[in-house]
Amino acid sequence: MLNQFLPTILRFKYILLFSLFFIIGAFNSPSLADQATVNQNSASKNPNIVLVLMDNLGWGEPGVYGGGVLRGAATPRIDALASEGMRLLNFNVEAQCVPSRASLMTGRYAVRSGNGSVPFFTSTYGLTKWEITLAEMLSSVGYQTGAFGKWHLGHDDGRYPTDQGFDEWFGIPHSSDESFWPSGDRFRAGAHPSAKPSYVMRAKKGSLAKKIRVYDLQQRAVIDREITKEAIKFIKKSSRKGIPFFAYIPFTMPHYPLLPAPEFKGASRNGAFADVLMQVDHYVGQLLDALKKAGVSDNTIFIFTSDNGGEMFVPAHGFTGPWRGSYFTGLEGSLRVPFIIRWPAVIPRGLSSNEVVHQMDIFTTLANLTGGVVPSDRIIDGVDQSPLLLGKSAKSAREGFVVYVGEEIYGIKWRNWKMMTKEVGSGVGSPVKINPVPHFYDLHTDPKEMHPLDARVLEDLWVRFPMTEILKNHLASFKKEPAIKPGTPDPYFPKAN
């Protein structure tokens, strides 16, 4: 009789053992955060870094942020990138182009380095050699560094990317609107020593930058294609050498003038902006494919973001999703931009967060992830966001920041609140409104910042205390370390207090 039931008993035995192992495994299996720690420890301590910085790409342009086909063209490669990594919904930048790039490169408020605004009335601008850039920090721990695209942090010998830590550079020194000049019949080259056309340039560390060709409207249409090619060559070269690399790729689109490359012109059949959106997605895809082909995709941190909110000039004006305003305004449409980060097997897939993060934090975060050193001899405003980005924490390491437009403080952002003492509606040329009593906005209930005196806001004016604390501490920091004056030449060294 026992022999008859033995197979059944053994089956139940194995089922019981399997169930027990399953239960034990469930209690002991690592969480996403634990797995991220394990994966990070097993990954190289020197991950490659590709940082794509678009020019005036609004928060709502990619499909994964609500744009894509709604803007006339799908963005499948960018959307897939987000699904493979983490997407930030509350990533903030400075309100103008030059300060945004200065903040990114130094981990500091741009006013500290003398780059708080776009320089309209001075020929000398950019980062002094005293500043320590992201490229210099990474070079110090063995990275090969290359910049491919728009610099906009200096246009004199001594202030190009290869003077600030990059081993090589291909791109343009200024803004793309200068491509109008040599193509226009009103331009008078030589009318003044400073009235010069902009150039596509190339440089190697230790050598003077060389002008390759005039940056006119014809070159404007194809420059991002050339940037992509140069970046891919750098990725291939660095990968063959087995050297960790940092590829900084500040594209020029969709900054005005909006001219798609010939192969993309008319491709969407929905106008120039949709053509350019297709183009952007394609170039991002080419970079991702190059990493995979080089065999370094799994150990590469890939970041996709933008320097400013959406373009202001019609018909190239940007889409900022639920937010209002273009760059130059300090509104959420000015400050919030897309941010996607992927590091396969280290950053958990498909994460998203609405925690406040600022572009200053990239410097400090990448220093932590690569073993780089954060300077201790100057004020660094960026904070380490690696716990948030690696899925170890649901909270940001910062709660707020000071909102600058140019070199002027317009307000404070704290959690989901803003306190604005100055406001401007739509960028360059719009009148600045000074608020004798600060305007308070709850971004949860009023994302477009339209109702500062809503009764619900009045009930919560206690938020002015943490906001005022941020401002007070920020202003006090300039007594410890005065800001560098705009246009300060090299050599520069801070005065001892």
| Residue 453 amino acid letter | L
Distance of CA 495 to the CA centre of its chain: 32
CA distance 150 to 331: 25
Identify the three-state secondary structure at position 244: coil
132's tokens = 């320590």
Q: Is 152 a catalytic residue?
A: yes
Q: Is 444 a catalytic residue?
A: no
Cβ atoms of residues 283 and 232 within 8 Å: no
The helix-helix angle for 272-293 and 217-241 (nearest 10°) equals 20
Burial class (CB within 10 angstroms; exposed 0-12, middle 13-18, buried 19+) of 203: buried
Among 152, 174, 255, 439, the active-site one is 152
Find the helix or strand (DSSP H, E) in which 100 lies.
helix 97-106
Find the helix or strand (DSSP H, E) in which 88 lies.
strand 86-88
167's tokens = 């081993």
Q: What is the distance in angstroms between the CA of the first residue and the CA of the last residue of the chain? A: 96
Number of neighbouring beta carbons within 10 Å of residue 307: 27
Active site residues: 97, 152
